[in-house]
Structure 1
Amino acid sequence: MPSTDLAEKARPYALAFFRIVTGLLFASHGAASVFGILGGAPGSHGGTVPTGAWPYWYAAVIQLVGGALVVLGLGTRTAALICSGSMAYAYFTVHLTTALWPLQNGGEPAALYAWAFLLLATTGPGALALRRGGAVMRGTSRQPA
């Protein structure tokens, strides 16, 4: 069936675009908190998170570095697993304490990022990922991390 063949050929590129957009959005959260750009850290009115402040500064560094690695496709599975874990931690320690459902507790972004990065940790980077000496890998049916 031709539509199935087209979908299979497009899959690595669709996954790559998903990886790049997700990583870029995540890294922008970290950049805002670490550098005070893009409106600054949430709730800081344009400021930054104090260096070393647990857990916020560490979360911001994971967002910035992990998101950048995911965008580039460098160590995607490992970076995505760490990013997923950090968002799961945020959900269970911050959001779940106020209500069960993400819609009620403001934890939708944390929950979505946790699941999106878990998907990337299991599927790998898809096409257009930098790996091994900076070579760009083309989409294939089997992608190493």
Structure 2
Amino acid sequence: MARIPVSQTTLTPIVLGLVRIVVGLLFACHGLQGFGAFGGIDGQGGAVPFGLWPGWWAGVIETAGGALVLLGFGTRAAAVVCSGTMAYAYFTVHAPLALLPLQNMGEPAAIYAWVFLLIAVLGPGRFAVSGLLRRRPVAREERVPAGV
């Protein structure tokens, strides 16, 4: 069986792009829960009251930021905001309950904060809308048949 050599240089942007897409989708879905989607915040379709700080605003940031990260548009800025939002959530909601994330139910917030920070530093990887917008169409030469 022949081995196909695949370099880290080839795989890293692909895996980073896939991680960005999955994390962005999950984060956007989490944000939509605050507006009553996917069972809402109570499992019965309940939503956070409009404008309520910080829950409603967190839902806006999670939905919009997750969508931007998912698409790979404004990825670094969106990822920084998402990371900060999750760090804020961890330290204001979870940390006062107990020392460790396993004890204070803050694992998702901590993981999201660090993954979004990683995306902000490394960039969007492959499959990003911003990458498609940067590409220029290649000019095609029109060939005239010889003798015409």
How far is 1:136 from its partner? 7.0
What is the DSSP-based 3-state SS (H/G/I as helix, E as strand, rest coil) of the residue aligned with 2:40?
coil
Instruction: Report what 1:47 is aligned to.
Output: 46
Distance 1:91 1:4, change over 3 A: farther
How far is 1:10 from its partner? 1.1
Q: Distance in 2 between matches of 1:8 and 1:132?
A: 17
Q: Give runs of aligned pairs for residues 1-145 of structure 1, distance below 5 A.
A: 5-34=6-35, 36-41=36-41, 43=42, 45-131=44-130, 134=133
Q: Distance in 1 between matches of 2:22 and 2:132?
A: 23
Answer yes or no: is the 8 Å Cα contact 1:72–1:129 preserved in 2: yes
How far is 1:14 from its partner? 0.2
How far is 1:33 from its partner? 1.0
Gap regions ≥5 residues in structure 1 = 138-145
Question: How far does the alpha carbon of each residue in 1:30-88 deviate from its partner, in whole angstroms, 9 at most, with x for none?
Answer: 11112x111112x3632111110000000000000000000000000000000000000
Distance 1:136 1:96, change over 3 A: farther
Q: Distance in 2 between matches of 1:51 and 1:71?
A: 25
Gap regions ≥5 residues in structure 2 = 137-148
Which letter does structure 2 place at the counterpart of 1:8? T
TM-score (norm 1): 0.85
Which letter does structure 2 place at the counterpart of 1:39? G
Tell me how large the CA RMSD over aligned residues is. 2.1
Which letter does structure 2 place at the counterpart of 1:48? A
Moved >6 Å (runs of 4+): none
What percentage of residue pairs aligned between the two structures are identical? 54
